[in-house]
Structure 1
Amino acid sequence: MRSRSSARRIPPGLPYHLVLTGERRRVGRGVLALVLLLAGLFGFGGVISVIGSAVDASMGRANPISGGAEFTPVYHAANLVSIALLIPWSMLLQRWLYGVRGASLSSVLSVFRPAVFGRAVLTIVPVWVLYMALFFVLSPYTEKAWTFTDATAVFVVTVLLSPLQAAGEEYGYRGLAFRVAASWGRGPRAAMALGLGVPSVLFAAIHMSTDPWLNLYYLTLGVTFGLMTWRTGGLETSVVVHAANNTLVYLFMLVTHADPLAGADRSAGAGSAIMLLPCVLLVVVTAVVWARTRRSGPALTT
């Protein structure tokens, strides 16, 4: 492994997913990176969930981690924080295993670009509000009686932490995993196929669903987010789409008095053909991103 005293310089003219490519494919190192990424995801989740359960127990409440059935604000916050920690964890793994600065995961400019982020917010969030309203109208759900205190706390936790949770998954899967898997390919087509395929399968697998409709949705999300990242040269757009989706899901649950625990069911039969709606929308958004970059091509490192 490289010396950690200085970061490796990123050559100019590379698309986002090829930043970790070199003369050797370093498959073993890449597998280690992916294993450590998953270890961080489940490790953070395990530790923080136990802490959250202890906090809930001290208040006389029992969330699903402790064998109860209460969707508490503490349980909600613990889940979101544990995934948000993938942001620094992914940066650390890239720097440690590949000698490349963690900040480069944000974009080909090694910064989180406000202009790209702002344009994505203005164009995507209104569309996602309309989609989510239609989705809740068409989808059956189990109702839950929210207390005013719980509803207020879940609202605050969702608005503050759901965007960070979504960003954590993007830095982990469309950031580090995308680059690691792409570095195994010999040639641009193989690199793109591996870069899109491996993280998308991992992303679907961590949701542990046995429902084919839900797995189709997770795979579609993984591939389309990867393509958005490649074309725009950074994670900003996929973070906005992911954050809008996850945040609005919980906000609509509060408005409609839906039960989040019932909505988290991923067993066979939990999904239906309604999942084609977000799949089609993701494909359309990706096509728009592609069209906007058709003349310039994917953004490259400078």
Structure 2
Amino acid sequence: MSTPYQRQARETPAYAWWKLPLAGLLAGVFYLALTVVLVVGAAIYFALTGDTTLEDWLEAAGDLDLAHLDFFALDLLSLVLLIPALLLAVLVVGPRPVGYLSSVAGRLRWGWLARTAAISFTVFIVTIGVSLAIDAGGGDTSAPSGDRGHVIAAIVVVLLLVPFQAAAEEYVFRGYVMQLVGSWTRFAAIPVLVSVAPFVAGHAYELWGLVDVGIFGLTAAILVVRTGGLEAAIAAHTANNVVLFVLDALGVISASDDSGATAVDVLPTVVSSIVLLVWIEWSARRHGIQRTRDPIPEPPPPEPPMWPPPPWAMPQYAPQYAPQYVPHYVPQHAPPHAPRPVPPAPLHPDTPPYPGEIDPDWGR
């Protein structure tokens, strides 16, 4: 049977129950080391500028306030560091290749990422725009304001960093967590639901803000299972955050402030989630997106020993340029039924080999 995305770590020859848990611990160590480097760099930056201090940023960490662009950029960079920390940990511990953390194709499918990004931006621009138009009709939306230069700089920072911040969260919550839990169970619903809890816990919002985050996390997890990779989830996460932060930079909304939110404020996320699931599912079917990994080929059976050796394998038949005795040498006049191991065919031209396909010990 073919292997779904969340089961890839389990259904490989090199699987061991301790590898992904150890990779998580090692990723935490790598992330801590990278964070120390970031903090040192931030301290040097604040010492050179003199406007604010490192303590000011640490006290405001996580606010994602675009009024302080340096704080905002550092907050996003602290999340982006999750990508190299996690990938390096999986690369060290396994299961490898690390590309299977991205999709069932063993790589990030850039064409599919671009297609789902176009879909996601369309959905979120329309749904959030309609929501703002309704609020404007009730007099609940403020007019755009702010210094023009600051607004342009904020939009540039958002466009440069938010895609990597969104990808980092997807690699951790929909990538690592889902494959970790998926290695313990065959039921796709369990890793989908389990991945939502830590994602929600990572956001310091009030009740309805957390509900909103939970709905999006559930949608992203379903997209990963249905499309066989993180591309659609990364695209949806990026589109949602970019649209909200650009509106925040323009002074239309406050993207990180959910105080006073009600159940009505969750409706745009519900609508956008339903539309995304239907549209991306349709697009995946239309374009034949690979949703599962092909079964791993069986290792070639060992050659049975030949005793006594056939006449054509005896030393006197070996050519003069060969060594005195070549046990596995098969001359041109060997019988046509002589066993010759055939390596398994690659699964996809761009797909890296599974652990053990090239290793003669089959991953052991």
Same fold (TM over 0.5): yes
- Shorter-chain TM-score tier: 0.7 to 0.9
Length-normalised TM-score, structure 1: 0.78
C-alpha contact 1:228 1:286 (8 A) present in aligned 2? yes
C-alpha contact 1:233 1:300 (8 A) present in aligned 2? yes
Give the match for residue 6 of structure 2: 17
SS of structure 2 residue aligned to 1:256: coil
Cα distance, 1:242 vs structure 2:
0.7
Task: Write out aligned runs for 1:1-302 (5 A).
Answer: 13-22=2-11, 26=17, 30-34=20-24, 48=38, 51-52=41-42, 55-56=45-46, 58-61=49-52, 65-67=57-59, 71-138=67-134, 140=140, 146-185=146-185, 188-189=186-187, 192-209=188-205, 211-258=206-253, 260=254, 263-265=255-257, 269-292=260-283, 299-301=291-293, 302=347
Query: Residue by residue, what CA displacement relative to the aligned partner does 1:261-288 show, whole Å, maximum 9, x if unpaired?
Result: xx42356x44542112212311331133
- Whole-angstrom CA distance in 1 between matches of 2:32 and 2:71: 15
Query: Relative to 1, partners in 2 of residues 1:65 and 1:244: Cα closer, same or farther, differing over 3 Å?
Result: same
Greater radius of gyration (CA): 2
Give the match for residue 305 of structure 2: none
C-alpha contact 2:24 2:86 (8 A) present in aligned 1? no
C-alpha contact 1:37 1:172 (8 A) present in aligned 2? no
Answer with 39-48 or 161-170: which moved more: 39-48
Query: Relative to 1, partners in 2 of residues 1:127 and 1:134: Cα closer, same or farther, differing over 3 Å?
Result: same
SS of structure 1 residue aligned to 2:6: helix
Cα distance, 1:46 vs structure 2:
7.3
SS of structure 1 residue aligned to 2:3: coil
The number of aligned residues is 281
Aligned residues: percent identity? 23
Query: Residue by residue, what CA displacement relative to the aligned partner does 1:176-203 show, whole Å, maximum 9, x if unpaired?
Result: 1111111111xx32xx132112211000
- Whole-angstrom CA distance in 2 between matches of 1:49 and 1:150: 24
One-letter amino acid of the structure 1 residue matched with residue 45 of structure 2: V
Cα distance, 1:130 vs structure 2:
1.6
One-letter amino acid of the structure 1 residue matched with residue 227 of structure 2: T
**Aligned Cα root-mean-square deviation (Å):** 3.4
Q: Which runs of 5+ in 1 are unaligned?
A: 1-11
C-alpha contact 1:56 1:74 (8 A) present in aligned 2? no
C-alpha contact 1:184 1:194 (8 A) present in aligned 2? no
C-alpha contact 2:200 2:214 (8 A) present in aligned 1? yes
Name whichever structure is richer in helix by fraction: 1
- Whole-angstrom CA distance in 2 between matches of 1:56 and 1:170: 31
- Whole-angstrom CA distance in 2 between matches of 1:15 and 1:125: 27
Q: Which runs of 5+ in 2 are unaligned?
A: 294-346, 348-364
